[in-house]
Chain A
């Protein structure tokens, strides 16, 4: 076998190494993230209850929101405070949205 690599072999080798690095590197990177993290193969690695949400009106009263009615899928990898606040703040009567997700409660004031 000659020492020179044919151009097709160089291309294949570059592609092979690049893909293998992504295949291994991404889950290695995600391994340090809280479970479950996307692209990390964290299936069934943690308890994944759906988020809980409340809206706060002008009188300061909290009303629980049925998140199953407003979410497409309750994926556990998602940090829900942003998307839920954006959707629920669309109602003019809502002053703030409170989201309990991944064992953390966040209060997001509506702009």
Chain B
């Protein structure tokens, strides 16, 4: 019970939720392009209707243009964070109404979008990175429990998507073979669609999905999960047909990944060489892109701070230092650590830890650091 109490009373910084809201809002905007043709067809009286209940009300009875315009307005307001609670509730309601208006309007992507918009609304995600925040309507902290539910939702989707594929038809590779792109420059030739390759791809995809569910839950495996998730969704959008729904799905399901990052502001301390003009430029970029406020920057001219952080002067002068609760890194590894905390790069940055890339990165860092120009001479040399 105490654990439940901690979950429902905990407050967190609203920035990650704000970032997730922006990406999800973009996904909602693109989703309307994909669903509009179905809405349009259902408005034709000669087309079959498949209601869930007899004589149920349906959005398909309204002019499709009206539904599309309202969808676009609400998704835009939600994405930019304008009256986010109101626009989020209205958008959730609209998406649920579309979803339940006719069985032909159902899609797993739309269903997931509805859940995520609803939960991010509940989380008050408009409190940061939003027009609401600019107008002073934001909050310093937001409740953590809806964020926990967003994370649970993502894990559930991967887990059941993976488990549902454990059947003879899917394992035979026939679903993969039938879904591959057949036209255009990225078409997969028919002769490649052999049983061995397709069954192998099917097994790999199941392992990837179930692995994502587990990896996202476990902090130790999260970085790997980020890369696998990005690779999986970009990969299927490239090799599967149709492309647009898969791109939209990638945006929808990748949007909450940022909520799996450690949400404590200032959790990373970076000691940097403030006498170096080159470093100043990079640090300015880090600061600009640190939308989650994860990084605390400490200039290496601050001797008291160096003492406090237990960083030696020569270390601080030699390379960028990254200090977190449980680890320390310097040079290229410190740069990677920072990139893993930035919303724009955290999905890809773990790749920089791979052996050949890390080796090259270390060498390049040492070369650049050795030749950097220092505009101010440090008092201690």
A residues with a Cβ closer than 8 A to B are: 1, 5-6, 9, 12-13, 15-17, 19-20, 23-24, 27, 31, 35-36, 38-47, 70-73, 75, 77-78, 80, 82-84, 86-87
Residue of A15, A45, A84 near B165 (CB, 8 A) is: A45
A-side contacts of B103, CB under 8 Å: 38, 75, 77-78, 83
CB B244 to nearest CB in A, in angstroms, measures 14
Bound-state Cα–Cα, A29 to B167, Å: 17
CB B99 to nearest CB in A, in angstroms, measures 9
In the complex, the answer to whether A43 meets B108 with C-beta atoms within 8 Å is yes
Bound-state Cα–Cα, A86 to B103, Å: 15
In the complex, the answer to whether A45 meets B175 with C-beta atoms within 8 Å is yes
A-B contact pairs, 6 of them (CB 8 A): A38-B103, A41-B161, A44-B179, A47-B178, A72-B41, A83-B48
A-side contacts of B5, CB under 8 Å: 1, 5, 9, 13
Closest B-chain residue to A83, C-beta based? B50
- Please classify the interface of chain A as helix (H, G, I), strand (E, B), loop, or mixed, using the class held by over half of its residues: loop
* Known interface pairs A46-B169, A72-B104, A73-B38; A41-B48 also in contact (CB < 8 Å): no
B residues with a Cβ closer than 8 A to A are: 4-5, 7-9, 38, 41-42, 46-50, 60, 102-108, 111, 115, 119, 143, 145, 148-149, 152-153, 156-157, 160-161, 163-165, 167, 169-170, 174-176, 178-179
A-side contacts of B157, CB under 8 Å: 41
In the complex, the answer to whether B165 meets A72 with C-beta atoms within 8 Å is no
In the complex, the answer to whether A70 meets B175 with C-beta atoms within 8 Å is no
A-side contacts of B165, CB under 8 Å: 44-45
CB B276 to nearest CB in A, in angstroms, measures 48
Closest A-chain residue to B7, C-beta based? A16
Bound-state Cα–Cα, A23 to B200, Å: 31
Bound-state Cα–Cα, A12 to B49, Å: 39
In the complex, the answer to whether A70 meets B149 with C-beta atoms within 8 Å is no
Bound-state Cα–Cα, A12 to B47, Å: 44
CB A11 to nearest CB in B, in angstroms, measures 9
Closest A-chain residue to B148, C-beta based? A16
In the complex, the answer to whether A72 meets B48 with C-beta atoms within 8 Å is yes
In the complex, the answer to whether B145 meets A41 with C-beta atoms within 8 Å is no
- 11 A-B pairs besides A72-B105, A73-B104, A82-B50 with CB distance below 8 A are A12-B9, A13-B4, A20-B149, A41-B108, A42-B160, A44-B176, A46-B169, A47-B178, A72-B42, A72-B47, A72-B60
* Known interface pairs A41-B156, A42-B108, A78-B104; A16-B149 also in contact (CB < 8 Å): yes
Closest A-chain residue to B206, C-beta based? A45
Residue of B148, B152, B161 near A43 (CB, 8 A) is: B161
Bound-state Cα–Cα, A9 to B143, Å: 11
Bound-state Cα–Cα, A39 to B111, Å: 7
Bound-state Cα–Cα, A23 to B111, Å: 11
List the 9 shortest-distance A-B pairs measured between CB atoms, nearest first. Answer: A41-B160, A12-B8, A45-B164, A72-B104, A83-B50, A73-B104, A27-B160, A42-B164, A72-B41
In the complex, the answer to whether B111 meets A71 with C-beta atoms within 8 Å is no
B-side contacts of A87, CB under 8 Å: 48-49
Bound-state Cα–Cα, A12 to B11, Å: 12
In the complex, the answer to whether A24 meets B156 with C-beta atoms within 8 Å is yes
Bound-state Cα–Cα, A47 to B179, Å: 9
In the complex, the answer to whether B164 meets A36 with C-beta atoms within 8 Å is yes
A-side contacts of B152, CB under 8 Å: 20, 23-24
A-side contacts of B7, CB under 8 Å: 16
In the complex, the answer to whether A38 meets B106 with C-beta atoms within 8 Å is yes
